[in-house]
């Protein structure tokens, strides 16, 4: 089974330094919160009915990845089990 949630980027904190195996590197922290199924777009209505709150926070060190996220834009987040772990 998988769950798909529509999440809105609500925070983008830049100029964060994190310690990795390569030493200190620049990072961006990105925060997402659920979009509820109201208004004209009900594409998240079924999911948000049962899970009305939450957040996903990621600290990203790859510039090509964190450049994709903008505050106020919505993104699909898919959760599915890893079967071969």
Could you tell me the pTM of the whole model? 0.76
- Arithmetic mean of pLDDT, 3-15: 89
21-79 pLDDT, tens digit per residue, is 888 888 899 999 988 766 566 666 666 676 667 899 999 999 899 999 999 999 999 99
- Predicted local distance difference test score (pLDDT) of residue 51: 62
Residues 6+ apart with CB under 8 A from 2: 78, 79, 80, 81
- Please give the angle made by the CA atoms of 3, 55 and 32, to the nearest 5 degrees: 95
């Amino acid at each position: 089974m998988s769950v798909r949630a529509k999440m809105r980027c609500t925070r983008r904190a830049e100029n964060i330094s994190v310690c990795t195996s390569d030493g200190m590197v620049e990072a961006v922290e990105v925060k997402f919160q659920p979009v509820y199924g109201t208004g004209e777009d009900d594409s998240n209505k079924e999911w948000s009915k049962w899970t009305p709150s939450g957040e996903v926070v990621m600290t990203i060190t790859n510039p090509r990845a964190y450049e994709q996220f903008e505050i106020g834009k919505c993104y699909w987040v898919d959760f599915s089990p890893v079967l071969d772990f």
